[in-house]
Amino acid sequence: MSQGMPQRRSAYRIVVGIEAHYIPVSPTSTVPLSRLRSSAPWVRGKIHDISVGGLRLTGPMGLKSDEHVAVSFVPSSHFLNDMLVTREHHVFSPLGLRKQRIVYREADFPEIVVKGRICHSTYDADHKYFRYHIQFIQLDKRIEEEIARFVNLAQRHALRKKAESD
């Protein structure tokens, strides 16, 4: 997907380049994702785009469509230094209620571990890796909010950089 193509999904998908690790999991597994992280050797891959509904991943391990997979990654926080936020709040002072502005940096993103179903799987013989389109399943609300926060801030950062270069 290129940057200029229109979005066809209900959730905005942003192009990224995030290192990730993944392993196949059973669809009926009840092991918490946090425990999976230390249980088996994970395969290194790369996330190419992400939304709150799913992601596109490449990696060397061959998996088929409809298989379930756990994916672990830490969204990049490098651009947050450019995304300072100003908030106003009210404080009591000896002179009465006053507005005060606070400038702060958004918090870094935590490690995210998600479970998903492979919707589409292809092999790229030229580069010798597999491409996966993964739909998130059983997504925890807190994780969904972190992914949405990442996508939103990364999109805003990209738009700012584009506006500065125009």
- Listed by start position, the domains of the chain span 14-76+110-156
Number of neighbouring beta carbons within 10 Å of residue 119: 12
pLDDT one-digit tens code per residue, 69-121? 999 999 988 888 887 888 888 888 888 899 988 888 888 999 999 999 999 99
Q: Please name the CATH architecture into which domain 14-76+110-156 falls.
A: Beta Barrel (2.40)
* pTM more than 0.85: no
Question: Around Cβ 160, how many Cβ atoms within 10 Å?
Answer: 13
Integer Cα distance of 51 and 155 in angstroms: 11
Band the pLDDT of 52: cuts 50, 70, 90.
very high
The number of residues making up the chain comes to: 166
**What separation in angstroms does the CA of 137 have from each of 4, 103, 130?**
28, 36, 21
Nearest to 41 by CA among 72, 75, 76: 72
Q: Residues 6 or more apart from 7 whose CB is under 8 A from it?
A: 13
For residue 145, report the phi and psi dihedrals to the nearest 5 degrees.
-65, -35
Q: Residue 1: is its pLDDT beyond 50?
A: no
pLDDT of residue 6: 59
